[in-house]
């Protein structure tokens, strides 16, 4: 169950960074709605990360959480914010995914 908490926490990290990007792009009441989404997503992400670390080593949990967040945020940047998708960006995203899988495989 801890791994599920951790994966969902990582997805909420992607949500809060995406909301942060939208806050930067918007103004007025729309900006405040995105900021509210940021606060809610960050709170859920942190809560689930804490739950996951009750059964997983903190180093592994934090590395996986940030890895999921980094991969998801880069992909969101490419798909939502129209950031460039160069071969090197995709290559290093693939290495991050491999590292996340490797940490899961060697964790007890």
Residue 96 pLDDT class (50, 70, 90 cuts): very high
**Residues 6+ away with beta carbon under 8 Å from 65:** 6, 9, 10, 13, 45, 49, 52
pLDDT mean over 26-43: 97
pLDDT digits (tens, 9 = 90+) for 49-60: 999 999 999 999
Q: Can you give the pLDDT at residue 107?
A: 80
Q: Can you give the pLDDT at residue 104?
A: 87
Least Cα distance to 74 among 62, 60, 63, 88 occurs for: 88
pLDDT > 70: percent of the chain: 100
pLDDT digits (tens, 9 = 90+) for 70-91: 999 999 999 999 999 999 999 9
Q: What angle do CA 60, 75, 67 make, to 5 degrees?
A: 10
pLDDT digits (tens, 9 = 90+) for 2-19: 999 999 999 999 999 999
Residue found by looking up tokens 């942190």 in the block: 46
Least Cα distance to 49 among 65, 63, 71 occurs for: 65
């Amino acid at each position: 169950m801890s791994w599920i908490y951790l994966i969902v926490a990582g997805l909420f990290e992607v949500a809060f960074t995406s909301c942060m990007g939208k806050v930067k792009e918007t103004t007025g009441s729309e900006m405040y709605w995105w900021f509210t989404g940021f606060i809610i997503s960050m709170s859920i992400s942190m809560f689930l990360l804490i739950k996951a670390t009750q059964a997983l080593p903190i180093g592994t949990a934090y590395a996986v959480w940030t890895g999921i967040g980094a991969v998801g945020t880069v992909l969101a940047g490419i798909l939502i914010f129209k950031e460039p998708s160069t071969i090197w960006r995709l290559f290093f995203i693939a290495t991050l995914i491999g590292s996340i899988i490797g940490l899961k495989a060697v964790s007890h």
